[in-house]
Chain A
């Protein structure tokens, strides 16, 4: 008796074999859920000023505050419960990561496929630009854009997208070009079907696996880059504190031994990024034809 196996179920079965990747995936899901339901799981809403009391500021982990509950991870200089702040911060980090990743993916992939499909001068021009951009480090690019456009959520996402779309463009271009050269595409182009159909039905599905691989890596990179920018004070404004900003807030207190303000948000950030990267590694290995025996 044979069981129907879809490509996804085959993929999932192989994925399951790697225990580490499985653990990493559950971690990611857990963190995502915590972030999504941050307002429900947090003992405190750290951004409602009415909840805060300066009496609680800079307290060590385990301290029972004025609100009557235990601050498991301590409090920050404004008296915010660190655990809650981390949950909310996770939400913002993941939001930004996903948003930047999604926009970069769409824009980059569209550009890459366009270049591969058009050929000729359009192709050359686009890919030259992409190559130029690829050699420029992401952080510099992001710095420049933030410097020019100022701070804010949209500006930050634009900066992240500008820094990362090139990876998607190059990946999509490579995959689409490989497919484009094949005879059946030439045949399809010759028919009156219309180029859009050819692109959608043929070129796009071929690009999807490598794009997924790049996407997982780039989401982790977006989160990391955003945290770095926020840490430097160039990321999100104070009203939307991401993990990076929490860490930066706590930096001056590290010398005096109040390490928890920086360390715990940092640990949360690391766990998130490393977990995503591990999942991404596994996905990449599974999609790589050369590693398959």
Chain B
């Protein structure tokens, strides 16, 4: 059993807005082992991005972590001050964002931005910093790395920019990388390249990853474990292969059925009826109930977490077969 690097238990992050209380992350728990790639899947508004931010303590006002624990290498992160957390950010836990043109400062050179990231945690000479930066740039697949250090973000193409962001995230050899929709803004072909790069890097360095995405297809090609989020809750978790083969939560099943790859040519795409609920006005009980074909009266109550081996789901009447759950 590989060691657990990150353990999240009953995490709750709420936003205290003028319009009302928004439970963006509600009772989320998962574990991340060393070298494991976990996919955090959900539609926009499901709380997956806020979960990522919560792990780093970067939740913006008016939100904050209300309860729960985040244990990283036996240190409790929720009890740390911002100054203490800062020492972990970028060094032990890194984050990559969706749109690299927005994350890189347009008026600073790549080299300068990397040097700033290095200097945040380590003292080293300019020369040494340059060496490490160039080294990482070539590792993520950017040609003539040293020369490119003097370039500005707008002089790179989209895919290259994201590679630069990945390089910055890797500067201090973190144990965990949180990638928030890193390929969503890129062309499909570039997407495949980045995915491959990430897979190789993870295997080489033993870095754990949390890959946040709304695209089930993309994530399942990379992740060994999946967690499906809906309305701030994790509704289903488990190893990728078994989860996809035999989903238990109706939402997961719905997601799978709506994939174009799952549809026979000539037949209409199956959609999940209804729309994502507004987190300001959630119905009591299971949040998916209004859209669920199998909903009954008992779904007005909060479904408990059912655990079976290395899988878990929150549903009173799950789909699929019990005996085919684990392979």
Contacts and interface: CB of A to CB of B under 8 A. Distances in A.
**Direct contact, A vs B (beta carbon within 8 Å):** yes
Interface of A: 293
Contacts of B18: 293
A293 B18 CA distance: 8
B17 interface: yes
Interface residues of B, number: 3
Contacts, number: 3
B262 interface: no
Interface in B14-37: 17-19
Grouping DSSP codes into helix (H, G, I), strand (E, B) and loop, the A interface class, with mixed when no group exceeds half, is loop
Interface of B: 17-19
A293 B17 CA distance: 8
A95 to B, nearest CB: 40
A293 B22 CA distance: 12
Contacts of A293: 17-19
A192 B155 CA distance: 48
3 contacts: A293-B17, A293-B18, A293-B19
What 3 pairs between A and B have smallest CB-CB spacing? A293-B17, A293-B18, A293-B19
B14 to A, nearest CB: 15
Nearest to B15: A293
Contacts of B19: 293
A5 B19 CA distance: 19
Nearest to B19: A293
A203 B19 CA distance: 32
A286 B173 CA distance: 47
Contacts of B17: 293
A293 B20 CA distance: 11
A138 to B, nearest CB: 33
Nearest to B18: A293
A293 B60 CA distance: 14
A12 to B, nearest CB: 18
Nearest to B62: A293
A293 B19 CA distance: 8
A293 B62 CA distance: 11
B280 to A, nearest CB: 11
A293 B16 CA distance: 12
Nearest to B17: A293
A216 B190 CA distance: 51
A182 to B, nearest CB: 24
A18 to B, nearest CB: 13
A141 B98 CA distance: 48
A213 B18 CA distance: 24
A293 B63 CA distance: 13
B184 to A, nearest CB: 23
B278 to A, nearest CB: 13
A135 B19 CA distance: 41
